[in-house]
């Protein structure tokens, strides 16, 4: 039995150790905030944090995160008031909203590493996250806002 | 010719056939040549006091304006308003209930929005497509709100024993100012519910100057907080006790069939529980499943891994020869020969012959896939002769009908729960994925989720059509355009409904071909034949994409040929402010709207061009390697003009520093969401212009995921998109917003590239064409 820690809680798994973390989170644990968009690390919809780093859960196996701290969108902030989440709401970023869990996790990881990213650094760090609705202008504005304190 | 074998059975298609008749009648009427017969609108869509008419009543099931259906007030004052249209990112789940709240004087912070299931007999038409929600429902939603307000006021007046004229609903309570008495909506709810619903013609709508919410853009979407917390519920998020997860191997070629399969390796995959055949329908079959082999597992990951281990033999059938390179040549050759004439004014052949100069533009646009961020997905629970569906569908009512038909059970036994849609763009107007889930659940006797992978989505889409557009424009010696022939060749959406459809349906002709607004003496539009070899479907803006691309690129070409400014050329072609007379067109369609409410008004078309030129700094000097391009297009009865500034570096790398768009969508509800739709349309326009191409070889789609079907990412997005919304005149009918932003983008970009580099791109995507 593998044990993994997600949002501070331990979960056991005795199925396929190669199961992508994405499907373990969504189908086995029931944390559906993390989304599926491509399954090939091409879109960022499935982004979670593993030891504070943004990771694509669709190409990460459950066995890869043993003894690590996994944080999903549900665990980012207890009341959903992380500075990135607040900035997202102030800027009215989402259209359909489907990509936004991944965008927010990526942005939060960026700000942990670089609290005051430049325009170019934001565009670079966020370029793995697709938004088919095209909310990019607002995503960038929201990250600037979060970095300057909401 | 079009052979629609059984149009009555084809809901989506029939819908357009119906509308087309009506709008033609309306147009004839507007031109003063109608016969005496005026159709009585269904009672549920009466608009007795309406300042304008829409096509809403002619959609399947029309509109329903009963406050008992849409509004509930709890004793604690909480007002629940139903959202009966699907939310895919436009904001409709917020804006329609907001209209009701505005009219009934409800305090938005005490309003809850509840999503209605699919049931058109009860709620009216629910097809969330064609950029129709605000345009068809602004008035009905106001009527519902006004009725609810009148019932609350009547209940309060009775309670106080005063005349109803002495009381007034204000901000969630009813006030009798003479006696300073007030009662909350919650206190009045039970009594108000007993009041009879007032006749529509007696309703008093609020004076727009007293609006608190409409037109302001200060209300965020209702799902905003949930979205930022990962708590919003999309189709993919449905989980039921005992639910199994399925992925399906489908025939790689449209119309192909399963021959045999070997599941022994798949069954060895940990978590896989069953492998089974799923029924398919012969092509074309509207939205029925393609069939294939389903892998059932305890989670999605196992199902995908199991499918990877399947060995399947397919019979590709006739479309196994479909090849995009050959097909392009066929389309382009067809565009060089005469085709079915669908609009004719003057004598285009004679005018071209006597022209001083003829400019010819041949344009090509490939198939596109929708790639909504949430791939198709649905959950079904079929028990006995009952079925319950949870799915992200744009067509809740159509899905209900189709599930009932597919399972052979009465429609009343089918419940369709509509989740949020992780993007739609027309893909989710087709409910094949819900039908697949229903078939599997019936077979297995447990709830089943069918998950499409991205590869499934790209390879089995109802694709945007592929088209060749050819325009010949004849100029006299003064540089005035005297002849215009536009041939448009593309497989039609009708081919998804009926075999043998080779000409565009009226609704396709009406998207930028026959409704071309230029003031030219000799015009001819033709539609040569094109046979489909894959499933063709609606994609955001539909045929407007190739038509606007061709027409607006040609404007750029004509400006260059006559050495004129693009904007001046454009305004000259649009000509005088007038209502375009389409009497030469057999069926102008006009997006299903009556022509007298929604005519092609060139004054409005000119206005968006002038507005964007003014606010967007047309003619400003730009750095070396940069260029400005402009385009305008009317679609979904809205008027939109876009200016793109492009930069092309010395290696041919393209970027977009700035986009400016002016939109006239008539009376509007939420300017903030209009802005977000236009920002998004620029991204989608740039995606399709730069990268968008689905191609076929041996009948199979050559792409599969975002690596070979790229879309624009943040590092390539325009630095800024400015949106200017034209203030509507009084009582200007509302018009579309979700789709119209897309069509003008690509031609504005292409005209900008020409200004920057002198290179004219006539085939999309741009791909490597600019690379040096
Ligand atoms: S689903 Fe993981 S990156 Fe797209
Ligand atoms: S908001 Fe729809 S994909 Fe990003």
Q: Which of B453, B707, B711 sits opposite A132 (nearest CB)?
A: B711
Report yes or no: A71 at the B interface, CB cutoff 8 Å: no
The answer on pLDDT for B11 being more than 80 is no
> Which letter does DSSP use for residue B352 in this model?
H
Pairwise CB contact (< 8 Å): B680 & A38: no
* Closest to B745 (Cα-Cα) out of B635, B602, B641, B617: B641
pLDDT for A115 equals: 97
Q: Which of B229, B302, B424 sits opposite A19 (nearest CB)?
A: B302
Tell me the CA distances in angstroms from B150 to B69, B103, B166, B214, one per residue in order: 16, 10, 12, 20
Q: What's the CA angle centered on B680, arms B675 and B685, to 5 degrees?
A: 125
pLDDT for B133 equals: 95
Average pLDDT score over residue span B545-571: 98
Helix (H) or strand (E) holding B741: none
Say if residue B579 is exposed, middle or buried (CB neighbours under 10 Å; 0-12, 13-18, 19+). Answer: middle
Helices (H), B130-263: 133-160, 185-194, 224-229
Report yes or no: A97 at the B interface, CB cutoff 8 Å: yes
Average pLDDT score over residue span B365-376: 98
CB count in 10 Å sphere of residue B362: 16
pLDDT for B391 equals: 98
Choose from A26, A36, A45 for mutation: most chain B CBs within 10 A: A36
Pairwise CB contact (< 8 Å): B228 & A127: no
pLDDT for B24 equals: 28
And the tokens for B594? 């009556």
Pairwise CB contact (< 8 Å): A34 & B232: no
pLDDT for B729 equals: 84
pLDDT for A150 equals: 62
Average pLDDT score over residue span B598-624: 98
Nearest CA in chain B to A92: B220
Where are the extended beta strands (E) located within B459-574?
Answer: 467-475, 481-489, 522-527
Task: Confirm if B506 and B497 have CB atoms less than 8 A apart.
Answer: no
And the tokens for A146? 């979060």
**Which residues does chain B have within 8 Å of residue A102's beta carbon, measured at their own beta carbons?**
none
Task: Confirm if B200 and B48 have CB atoms less than 8 A apart.
Answer: yes
Pairwise CB contact (< 8 Å): B300 & A23: yes
**Which residues does chain B have within 8 Å of residue A89's beta carbon, measured at their own beta carbons?**
220, 224-225, 228
**pLDDT, tens digit, for every residue of B115-147?**
999 999 999 999 999 999 999 999 999 999 999
Helices (H), B562-652: 566-574, 602-615
Choose from A15, A17, A19, A27 for mutation: most chain B CBs within 10 A: A27
**Which residues does chain A have within 8 Å of residue B224's beta carbon, measured at their own beta carbons?**
89, 92, 94
Pairwise CB contact (< 8 Å): B229 & A124: no
Q: CA B328, CA B760: separation in Å to the nearest integer?
A: 19
> Which letter does DSSP use for residue B219 in this model?
P
The answer on pLDDT for A68 being more than 70 is yes
Say if residue B182 is exposed, middle or buried (CB neighbours under 10 Å; 0-12, 13-18, 19+). Answer: middle
Task: Confirm if B426 and B540 have CB atoms less than 8 A apart.
Answer: yes
Residues 41-60 of A with CB under 8 A from B: 42-43, 45
pLDDT for B696 equals: 98
- How remote is the CA of residue B65 from the centroid of ligand 2, in Å? 32
Report yes or no: A7 at the B interface, CB cutoff 8 Å: no
CB count in 10 Å sphere of residue A9: 10
> Quick one: pLDDT band at residue B322, thresholds 50, 70, 90?
very high
Torsion, Cα B315 B318 B321 B325, to 10 degrees, reads: -130
pLDDT for A88 equals: 98
CA distance A75 to chain B (A): 9
Q: Residues B755, B756, B762, B764: is their CA dihedral positive or negative?
A: negative
Helix (H) or strand (E) holding B387: strand B386-391
CA distance between the termini of chain A? 43
Nearest CA in chain B to A95: B89
Q: CA B420, CA B649: separation in Å to the nearest integer?
A: 41
**Which residues does chain A have within 8 Å of residue B714's beta carbon, measured at their own beta carbons?**
122-123, 126-127, 129, 131, 136, 139-140
Torsion, Cα B481 B485 B490 B496, to 10 degrees, reads: 110
* Closest to B712 (Cα-Cα) out of A98, A43, A46: A43
- How remote is the CA of residue B705 from the centroid of ligand 2, in Å? 17
Report yes or no: A124 at the B interface, CB cutoff 8 Å: yes
Percentage of chain B modeled with pLDDT above 70: 94
Beta strand B696-697 with B700-701 is antiparallel
Q: CA A69, CA B256: separation in Å to the nearest integer?
A: 47
The answer on pLDDT for B51 being more than 80 is no
Q: CA B48, CA B199: separation in Å to the nearest integer?
A: 10
Residue B18: asked if its preceding bond is cis (omega within 30°), the reply is: no
Q: CA B5, CA B350: separation in Å to the nearest integer?
A: 39
* Closest to A144 (Cα-Cα) out of A90, A75, A101, A100: A90
Report yes or no: A36 at the B interface, CB cutoff 8 Å: yes
Q: Which of A89, A126, A132 sits opposite B228 (nearest CB)?
A: A89
Task: Confirm if A132 and B373 have CB atoms less than 8 A apart.
Answer: yes
Is pTM beyond 0.90 here?
yes
The answer on pLDDT for B350 being more than 80 is yes
Pairwise CB contact (< 8 Å): A130 & B230: no
The answer on pLDDT for B5 being more than 80 is no
Q: What phi, psi does B197 have (nearest 5°)? A: -70, 125
Q: Which of B236, B301, B681 sits opposite A35 (nearest CB)?
A: B236
Average pLDDT score over residue span B529-540: 98
Phi-psi region of A9 (alpha: psi -120 to 50; beta: other; left: phi over 0): beta
- How remote is the CA of residue B225 from the centroid of ligand 2, in Å? 15
CA B110, chain centre distance (Å): 31
**pLDDT, tens digit, for every residue of B381-394?**
999 999 999 999 99
- How remote is the CA of residue A89 from the centroid of ligand 2, in Å? 14
Mean of the per-residue pLDDT values of chain B: 93
> Quick one: pLDDT band at residue B473, thresholds 50, 70, 90?
very high
> Quick one: pLDDT band at residue B14, thresholds 50, 70, 90?
very low
Choose from B230, B374, B425 for mutation: most chain A CBs within 10 A: B230
CA distance A33 to chain B (A): 4
Pairwise CB contact (< 8 Å): A27 & B245: yes
Say if residue B179 is exposed, middle or buried (CB neighbours under 10 Å; 0-12, 13-18, 19+). Answer: exposed
Average pLDDT score over residue span B507-536: 98
A94 Cα nearest atom in ligand 2: 1
pLDDT for B26 equals: 33
* Closest to B577 (Cα-Cα) out of B599, B596, B603: B603
**Which residues does chain A have within 8 Å of residue B231's beta carbon, measured at their own beta carbons?**
33, 74, 80
Residue B284: asked if its preceding bond is cis (omega within 30°), the reply is: yes
Pairwise CB contact (< 8 Å): B676 & A104: no
And the tokens for B308? 């990877």
**pLDDT, tens digit, for every residue of B227-271?**
999 999 999 999 999 999 999 999 999 999 999 999 999 999 999
Q: CA B397, CA A73: separation in Å to the nearest integer?
A: 33
Q: Does residue B572 sit in helix, strand or coil?
A: helix
**Which residues does chain B have within 8 Å of residue A95's beta carbon, measured at their own beta carbons?**
89-91, 676-677, 680
Choose from A25, A45, A86, A132 for mutation: most chain B CBs within 10 A: A132
Pocket residues: Cβ below 6 A from ligand 1: A 36-39, 41-46, 56, 58
Pocket residues: Cβ below 6 A from ligand 2: A 94-100, 131-133, 135; B 89, 373, 423
Task: Confirm if A33 and A72 have CB atoms less than 8 A apart.
Answer: yes
**pLDDT, tens digit, for every residue of B266-299?**
999 999 999 999 999 999 999 999 999 999 999 9
DSSP one-letter string for B11-61: HHHHHHHHHHHHHHHHHHHHTT---S--PPPPGGG--TT-SS--SGGGSTT
């Amino acid at each position: 039995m593998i044990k993994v820690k997600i949002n501070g809680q331990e979960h056991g798994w005795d199925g396929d150790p190669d199961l992508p973390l994405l499907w373990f989170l969504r189908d086995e644990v029931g944390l559906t905030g993390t989304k599926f968009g491509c399954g090939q690390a091409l879109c960022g919809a499935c982004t979670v944090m593993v030891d504070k780093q943004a990771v694509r859960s669709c190409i990460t196996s459950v066995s890869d995160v043993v003894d690590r701290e996994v944080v999903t969108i549900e665990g980012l902030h207890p009341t959903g008031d992380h500075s990135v989440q607040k900035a997202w709401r102030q800027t009215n970023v989402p259209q359909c909203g489907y990509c936004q869990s991944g965008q927010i996790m990526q942005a939060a990881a960026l700000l942990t590493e670089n609290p005051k990213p430049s325009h170019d650094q934001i565009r670079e760090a966020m370029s793995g996250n697709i938004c088919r609705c095209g909310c990019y202008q607002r995503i960038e504005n929201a990250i600037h806002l979060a970095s300057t304190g909401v | 010719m079009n052979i629609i074998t059984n149009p009555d059975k084809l809901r989506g298609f029939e819908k357009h056939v119906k509308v087309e008749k009506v709008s033609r009648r309306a147009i004839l009427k507007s031109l003063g040549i109608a016969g005496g017969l005026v159709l009585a609108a269904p009672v549920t869509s009466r608009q007795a006091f309406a300042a304008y008419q829409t096509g809403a009543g002619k959609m399947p099931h029309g509109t329903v304006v009963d406050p008992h259906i849409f509004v509930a007030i709890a004793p604690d004052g909480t007002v629940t308003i139903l959202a009966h249209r699907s939310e895919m990112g436009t904001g409709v789940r917020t804006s329609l209930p907001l209209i009701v709240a505005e009219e009934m004087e409800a305090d938005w912070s005490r309003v809850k929005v509840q999503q209605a299931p699919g049931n058109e007999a009860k709620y009216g038409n629910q097809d969330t497509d064609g950029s129709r929600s605000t345009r068809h429902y602004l008035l009905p939603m106001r009527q519902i709100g006004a009725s609810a307000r009148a019932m609350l006021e009547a209940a309060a007046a009775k309670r106080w024993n005063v005349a109803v004229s002495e009381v007034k609903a204000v901000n969630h309570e009813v006030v009798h100012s003479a006696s300073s008495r007030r009662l909350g909506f919650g206190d009045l709810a039970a009594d108000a519910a007993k009041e009879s619903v007032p006749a529509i013609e007696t309703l008093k709508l609020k004076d727009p100057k007293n609006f608190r919410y409409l037109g302001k853009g200060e209300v965020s979407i209702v799902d905003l907080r949930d979205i930022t917390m990962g708590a919003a519920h999309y189709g993919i998020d449905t989980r039921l006790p005992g639910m199994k997860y399925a992925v399906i191997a489908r025939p790689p070629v449209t119309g192909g069939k399963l021959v045999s399969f070997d599941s022994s390796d798949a069954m060895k995959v940990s978590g896989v529980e069953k492998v089974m055949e799923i029924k398919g329908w012969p092509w074309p079959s509207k939205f029925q499943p393609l069939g294939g082999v389903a892998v059932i597992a305890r989670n999605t990951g196992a199902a995908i891994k199991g499918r990877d281990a399947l060995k399947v033999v397919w019979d590709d059938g006739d479309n196994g020869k479909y090849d995009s390179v050959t097909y392009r040549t066929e389309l382009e050759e067809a565009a060089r020969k005469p085709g079915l004439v669908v609009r004719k004014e003057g004598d285009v052949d004679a005018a071209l012959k006597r022209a001083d100069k003829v400019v010819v533009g041949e344009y090509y646009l490939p198939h596109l896939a929708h790639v909504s961020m949430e791939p198709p997905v649905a959950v079904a629970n079929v028990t006995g002769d009952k079925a319950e569906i949870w799915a992200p569908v744009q067509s809740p009512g159509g899905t209900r009908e189709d599930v009932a038909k597919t399972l052979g059970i009465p429609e009343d036994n089918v419940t369709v729960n509509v989740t949020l849609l992780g993007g739609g763009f027309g893909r989710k107007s087709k409910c094949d994925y819900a039908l697949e889930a229903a078939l599997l659940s019936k077979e297995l006797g447990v709830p089943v989720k069918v998950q499409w992978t991205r590869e499934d989505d790209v390879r089995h889409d109802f694709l945007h059509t592929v088209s060749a557009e050819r325009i010949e424009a004849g100029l006299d010696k003064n540089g005035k355009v005297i002849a215009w022939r536009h041939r448009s060749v593309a497989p039609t959406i009708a081919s998804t409904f009926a075999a043998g459809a080779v000409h565009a349906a009226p609704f396709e002709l009406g998207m930028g071909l026959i409704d071309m607004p230029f003031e030219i003496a000799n015009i001819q539009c033709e539609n040569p034949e094109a046979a489909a070899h894959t499933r063709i479907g609606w994609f955001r803006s539909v045929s407007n994409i190739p038509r606007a691309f061709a027409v607006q690129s040609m404007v750029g070409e004509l400006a260059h040929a006559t050495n004129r400014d693009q904007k001046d050329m454009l305004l000259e072609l649009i000509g005088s402010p007038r209502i375009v007379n389409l009497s030469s067109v057999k069926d102008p369609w006009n997006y299903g709207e009556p022509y007298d409410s929604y005519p092609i008004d060139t004054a409005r078309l000119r206005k968006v061009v002038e507005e964007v030129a003014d606010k967007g700094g047309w003619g400003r000097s730009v750095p070396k390697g940069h260029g400005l391009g402009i385009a305008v297009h009317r679609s979904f009865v809205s008027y939109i003009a876009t200016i793109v500034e492009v930069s092309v570096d010395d290696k041919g790398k393209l970027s977009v520093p700035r986009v400016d768009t002016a939109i006239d969508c008539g009376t509007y509800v939420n300017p903030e969401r209009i802005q977000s739709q236009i920002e998004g349309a620029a991204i989608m326009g740039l995606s399709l212009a730069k990268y968008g191409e689905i191609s076929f070889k041996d009948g199979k789609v050559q792409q599969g995921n975002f690596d070979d079907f790229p879309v624009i990412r943040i590092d390539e997005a325009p630095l800024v998109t400015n949106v200017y919304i034209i203030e509507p005149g009084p009582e200007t009918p509302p018009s579309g917003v979700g789709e119209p932003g897309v069509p003008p983008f690509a031609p504005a970009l292409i005209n900008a590239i020409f200004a920057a580099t002198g290179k004219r791109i006539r085939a999309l995507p741009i791909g490597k064409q600019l690379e040096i």
